[in-house]
Structure 1
Amino acid sequence: MREDVESLDIKDVTANWVNAVVLERQIEDRIKALADLSHTPLFFGRLDYLHTTQEGQRFYIGRRHVHDADGDPMVIDWRAPVSQPYYQASKQHPQDVGLRRRFGYTGGELTAYEDEHLSDPTELERTSRLLQAEIERPRVGPMRDIVATIQPEQDEIVRSGLSGTVCVQGGPGTGKTAVGLHRVAYLLYAHRERLARTGTLVIGPNRSFLHYIEQVLPALGELEVQQATVDDLVAHVEVRGTDQAATAVVKGDARMAEVLRRAVRSHVTLPKEPLMVVRGSRRWRVPAYELEEIVRELTERDIRYGAARDALPQRIAHAVLVRMEQAGEAPDDRVQNAVARNAAVKAVVKECWPAVDPAKLVLRLLSDPEFLAEHACGILDEDEQKLLLWEKPARSVKTAKWSAADAVLVDEATDLVERTASLGHVVVDEAQDLSPMQYRAVGRRCTTGSATVLGDLAQGTTPWATQSWAQALTHLGKPDAVVEELTAGFRVPREVIAYASRLLPHMSPGLAPVESVRENPGSLEIRRAEPAALDADVVAACRDALAHEGSIGLIAADARVAPLAEALASAGLPYLAPGEETTAETRLTLVPASLAKGLEYDYVVLDEPSAVVDGEPDERTGLRRLYVALTRAVSGLTVVHAAELPGQLEG
């Protein structure tokens, strides 16, 4: 198929050079989408149908559609309706499938297959060995797609429609990230033309996470999906400063949206003097009360500040044209536009509805106590206002030490002035850590589209972490979104998830623990070390883990990363930073606990759990950070500690 596209001759096909350039670009994109991916088989399953319209037909299911030289299908895209029974059919509901075959691969080579006779009542339903082996296969490098192992409850979410927003609550190892990414791939398949116009976006918590997931969609033939962090979306100002936790909480509070709205609208003033427009030998007068009515009407419509400012001169010009018509003239649109550009009209607009720079507005709010008090009155108390004010007010936007929370405020103000462009679909992962104002920033990117919200309330590790999905979805602007819960764990071994779940009653009461389907005896080991030998024992645990196949993650409190890096270097153990791609030669990654969220490793060595807890501003946040660190392991977890373990881990 790729060779056919490469051999196309378009010299005499297009009428002009513009069409030729567009066609060449489309051909280049098609060739990229058909690129061979090493160790990625084109098909992984087969369906043999019994009756109905597919009677006696056999379909091979794969990552993308493949046809032969005559155009007849050889492999059916996993997203096609005829492929759905591969994920949903069962003994109880065979969906007219007589046989389902799973293929097993090793290093890209077909090495096994396994049949399920769904229509045979004598054959007992059993867990697929190939499915289990694929789930447990060691991972080196970035995240892989899961098209061969999608479970029925995951498939239902993946295939949910474009019009609705879906929120997926899922504990560690339930596959919520993969579900979100595969939902994007499905929507692009089912609504390609629409999403090609409106665009799709995947939002992750940090750059390391985005690098980890960046190969999933290309492996499924989808190359046009954008990826960004929330900080990327709101990069109107250069972030060079940080906030104390209490300050960041106030800045991230949804009440700040009303403070900003008041501040923006405060620039509107009612006209005091009449308007006189001179055209040739005639003068046209618009009284002050009529100008006031025009300004009030635009204010009451509550449209964007900038849109209202653009409409004001046209409204004033219309009032002048009414007078011209009353005097017997017949002005047209050109005359109205000329009047709108008249110097006197421009002067009224500048006085009544001046231009607003969003960054300068936020700068003034954070620097001027009186300006802040005026617009925060009845919304924020005095203590909250004091938290917002900078100790050393900046003189200009460029010299200000903006924080990440400040940038979100500037984004909100920017939207009040001019509407933010909306995309067709947005996926936001690790959403439990977003503040209400960050949710609003994401929601602005999908006001006319839909969203997939992924997260785990138990893994919220910011002071402003989401307490309930109902609140979060309201801030997102999608209060009617459907909340789906994934409770079956496929990645983390049962022993590890059970150990980590001891923390749940102390940090997220009422949240159901994940029920892992994987038993891996010996997957959890707790090692006690002497304080003086802690670093050496951690290095030894890393050497032991490297004896196994797959990736290794050494997770430690942020303050412990530097000494552990020195210990690894002294021991001659090469290591990577989060986001750097593991290789066969370098499989060990040193991970600060603050960056561990969303990442997975075959084996994890966790350094000093109490240090992870103590590294956070409060115990609850610390326990949640520890919960995240404990649940990054796919095959085995070794906990090395010198200090006493947190009491909440005691069984």
Structure 2
Amino acid sequence: MSSPSAPSAPDPLSAPSAPDPLTRERSHLTRSRAALRAMREDVENLDISDVTANWVNAEVLARQIEERIKALADLSHTPLFFGRLDYLHAPGADRAEGADGERFYIGRRHVHDADGDPMVIDWRAPVSQPFYRASKKDPMDVALRRRFGYTGGDLTAYEDEHLSDPAEAATTSKLLQREIERPRVGPMRDIVATIQPEQDEIVRSGLSGTVCVQGGPGTGKTAVGLHRVAYLLYAHRERLARTGTLVIGPNASFLHYIEQVLPALGELAVKQATVDDLVAHVEVRGTDTAAAAVIKGDARMTEVLRRAVRSHVTMPTEPVMVVRGSRRWRVPAYDLEEIVRELLQRDIRYGAAREALPQRIAHAVLVQMERSGEAPDDRVQDAVARNGSVKAAVKAVWPPVDPAKLVLRLLADADFLAAHAAGILDEEEQKEILWAKPARSVKSAKWSPADAVLIDEVTDLVQRTHSLGHVVLDEAQDLSPMQYRAVGRRCTTGSATVLGDLAQGTTPWATRSWQEALAHLGKSDAMVEELTAGFRVPTDVITYASRLLPHIAPGLAPVASVRENPGFFQVRAISASGEVVAACAELLRNEGSTGLIAADARIPVLAEALTAAGIGYLGPGEETTHETRLTLVPASLAKGLEYDYVVLDEPQAVVDGEPDERTGLRRLYVALTRAVSGLVVTHAAPLPTQLG
């Protein structure tokens, strides 16, 4: 390998005696940035005044141009390209013809010069794939793979791998290790420069299939899911532009943490939401006991709700009389009953069946008209369907259902619940979910998050939920079966990327197996992949945290850290909160971010101690500045977040803060694995025995 650097910025990976290659690469970077500016200016200078038929088209086109301009932004602190591939032969050429190889610079977006020749190739293009997958064993026709090192936006080093040279031994990339271990401040970064072969296979998997990724802490599962969205938008842009994409995270703090990844890759149209956002049909102001939440989240509630919805249908006992002109047409009650039973047997959605019922009644009238010698057409059938007597019959037989009102009655009326939960929920379960103080109206009810999911289920039973082209579901292990169903409704005609770690499930209804979860999602045929190589968590930290795995996920393989730096790790017995603050002050002397993670009940005490010591801090999800690099994190919000250094306060308090020990140990496992470079565990109380 060779890695020169600029004399003004010496680099341990560089060879000062050979600066010319680095100078040439910097020149290409300068030209590429100039080409990107020209591309942006071309779009900015577009005149659309004479190419649109009306103001609506003009608005749509102007919005598309605005998004294109944003996508072509040159982020000065972000490398425009991070790698180079020199092929032995031109991609796609017949090697027997001896076609000369080509050189491609791999970056976050495509850049071309004034003649249309590529200066930088998008990392998602097929020609870029060998940058991630080529090896000495399978060079994929690549003679040279070059990685670039940057400081800020300045190119400072390079590193070469001669993949097709049998004389050169395979070595570990120092630049790759440095990029993985680089201190982080602020939101999550993209990983386009460091995607590993096993990650790339998941990223580039097809749109038609659902993929479930089981990955321990630091394996990059969240990044893989986000980059898969970016790849799918590149490969299937027109289709996904019509159907839409969505990223679902566990909470607003997590979504804020990851929100810059896709825009940095030029993708601005992907929406983000929590499951609670998806089912926000009512204002959530209440909470459930753990036992009630488990029952309401159980898939058995689906049948209870279906029965309750169908109970609104009553069999007709009176005929329908339709008057048209001087003629009267009578549909007997037994014919109406046959129509209603047929619609019920079809098991279509309640609302769709209700819309079909008047047309079926009208058709029965038209049959009588034809038998009497008339020749009615579709307009006559529509008129009959709108007839007052037909509408009255439909309202009586198949009345409209308000989902929130139905769930309100189910949770407030013991007899109504008993009638539809018989044989599904036992008496104790029914009592558990019944409200002690029934609400008088939908607006006055103190709905819980689990109640909102039930309302969403009923809403879909009445009218089909709109389906997106692709959904990414992160931290999926914490969802209940009913929440999985809510997400699954959003991708019934599309696909999904499901991301999670069974060992990090911290809800009473946490997922027990991915097969079960995928069945609730409606994606039983999904491919399950497991990531076990840890890139973000240091060896000593993940080894310590893995002591908990036999107690929280016995069959799960521990994460194996691939980092060369073992990381900084200490367990300190303390006697006062001041020593926790001192540990934070000590870690803040290092470059990067620091997180102080503690049991939720301990947060006010620690906040007061930090303030008394004059140390500023932020809450999770708030934008981190250079001056404020400390985040005070309740253990309940730590999932999915990462910090260069972490101080974990009182592990036993984290365990005790949960309803049961197993959930508490899982919460502790999450908290222990948030550190990227170093972890200090402080405790006055004894450590959990499971830590050894």
Structures share a fold, TM > 0.5? Answer: yes
Tell me if 1:48 matches 2:86: yes
Residue in structure 2 matching 1:249, options 284, 289, 294: 294
Map 1:620-639 to 2 at 5 A.
Answer: 620-639=662-681
Structure 1 distance, partners of 2:634, 2:570, is: 21
Tell me if 1:326 matches 2:364: no
Deviation of the 1:21 alpha carbon: 2.5
Contact 2:644/2:675, CA 8 A, preserved across alignment: yes
Q: Which amino acid aligns with 1:312?
A: L
Deviation of the 1:230 alpha carbon: 0.1
Structure 1 distance, partners of 2:470, 2:312, is: 35
Helix, strand or coil at the partner of 2:617: coil
Structure 1 distance, partners of 2:339, 2:595, is: 64
Could you state the TM-score of these two structures normalised by the residue count of structure 2? 0.93
Q: Which of 257-266 and 510-519 deviates more?
A: 510-519
Partner of 1:583 in structure 2? 625
CA RMSD of aligned residues (A): 0.8
Map 1:490-639 to 2 at 5 A.
Answer: 490-521=535-566, 523-530=568-575, 533=576, 535-639=577-681
Deviation of the 1:259 alpha carbon: 0.3
Partner of 1:445 in structure 2? 490
Unaligned runs of 5+ in 1: none
Tell me if 1:6 matches 2:44: yes
Partner of 1:39 in structure 2? 77
Q: Which of 328-337 and 157-166 deviates more?
A: 328-337
Q: Deviations over 1:244-302 (max 9, x none)?
A: 10010000000000000000001111101111111111100111111111000100000
Partner of 1:311 in structure 2? 356
Contact 2:538/2:567, CA 8 A, preserved across alignment: no
Helix, strand or coil at the partner of 1:638: strand
Structure 2 distance, partners of 1:619, 1:521, is: 30
Map 1:169-188 to 2 at 5 A.
Answer: 169-188=214-233
Structure 2 distance, partners of 1:227, 1:380, is: 35
Q: Which amino acid aligns with 1:345?
A: V
Corresponding residue pairs, total: 647
Partner of 1:137 in structure 2? 182
Q: Which of 28-37 and 286-295 deviates more?
A: 28-37
Q: Which amino acid aligns with 1:141?
A: G
Structure 1 distance, partners of 2:566, 2:342, is: 71
Structure 2 distance, partners of 1:519, 1:148, is: 18
Deviation of the 1:18 alpha carbon: 3.2
Tell me if 1:78 matches 2:120: no
Helix, strand or coil at the partner of 1:395: coil
Deviation of the 1:12 alpha carbon: 2.4
Deviation of the 1:522 alpha carbon: 5.5
Helix, strand or coil at the partner of 2:611: helix
Contact 2:503/2:549, CA 8 A, preserved across alignment: yes
Partner of 1:193 in structure 2? 238
Q: Which amino acid aligns with 2:629?
A: R
Cα gap change, 1:155 to 1:206, in 2 (>3 Å): same
Structure 2 distance, partners of 1:426, 1:15, is: 35
Deviation of the 1:600 alpha carbon: 0.2
Q: Deviations over 1:527-552 (max 9, x none)?
A: 1011xx1x101000000010100000
Q: Deviations over 1:50-93 (max 9, x none)?
A: 02536320000000000111111110000000000000000000
Contact 2:148/2:158, CA 8 A, preserved across alignment: yes
Structure 1 distance, partners of 2:54, 2:406, is: 49
Tell me if 1:116 matches 2:161: yes
Partner of 2:209 in structure 1? 164
Q: Which amino acid aligns with 1:625?
A: R
Contact 1:604/1:637, CA 8 A, preserved across alignment: yes
Helix, strand or coil at the partner of 2:323: strand
Structure 1 distance, partners of 2:281, 2:46, is: 44
Deviation of the 1:164 alpha carbon: 0.2
Deviation of the 1:19 alpha carbon: 2.8
Contact 1:165/1:452, CA 8 A, preserved across alignment: yes
Structure 2 distance, partners of 1:56, 1:273, is: 83
Helix, strand or coil at the partner of 1:267: coil
Tell me if 1:398 matches 2:443: yes
Structure 2 distance, partners of 1:110, 1:51, is: 28
Q: Which amino acid aligns with 1:294?
A: I
Partner of 1:364 in structure 2? 409
Helix, strand or coil at the partner of 1:101: strand
Tell me if 1:22 matches 2:60: yes
Tell me if 1:466 matches 2:508: no
Tell me if 1:263 matches 2:308: yes
Deviation of the 1:17 alpha carbon: 3.3
Tell me if 1:127 matches 2:186: no
Partner of 1:98 in structure 2? 143
Map 1:288-303 to 2 at 5 A.
Answer: 288-303=333-348
Deviation of the 1:16 alpha carbon: 3.5
Partner of 2:97 in structure 1? none
Helix, strand or coil at the partner of 2:471: strand
Deviation of the 1:495 alpha carbon: 0.3
Helix, strand or coil at the partner of 2:409: helix
Could you state the TM-score of these two structures normalised by the residue count of structure 1? 0.99
Contact 2:539/2:567, CA 8 A, preserved across alignment: no
Residue in structure 1 matching 2:277, options 223, 232, 247: 232
Q: Deviations over 1:412-460 (max 9, x none)?
A: 0000000000000000000000000000000000000000000000000
Structure 1 distance, partners of 2:54, 2:548, is: 66
Structure 2 distance, partners of 1:167, 1:219, is: 25
Partner of 2:473 in structure 1? 428
Instruction: List structure 1 segments (4+ residues) > 6 angstroms apart after TM superposition.
Output: none
Deviation of the 1:333 alpha carbon: 1.4
Percent identical pairs in the alignment equals 84
Q: Which of 192-201 and 11-20 deviates more?
A: 11-20
Structure 2 distance, partners of 1:591, 1:121, is: 51
Partner of 1:348 in structure 2? 393
Tell me if 1:61 matches 2:106: yes
Unaligned runs of 5+ in 2: 1-38, 94-99
Structure 2 distance, partners of 1:25, 1:270, is: 53
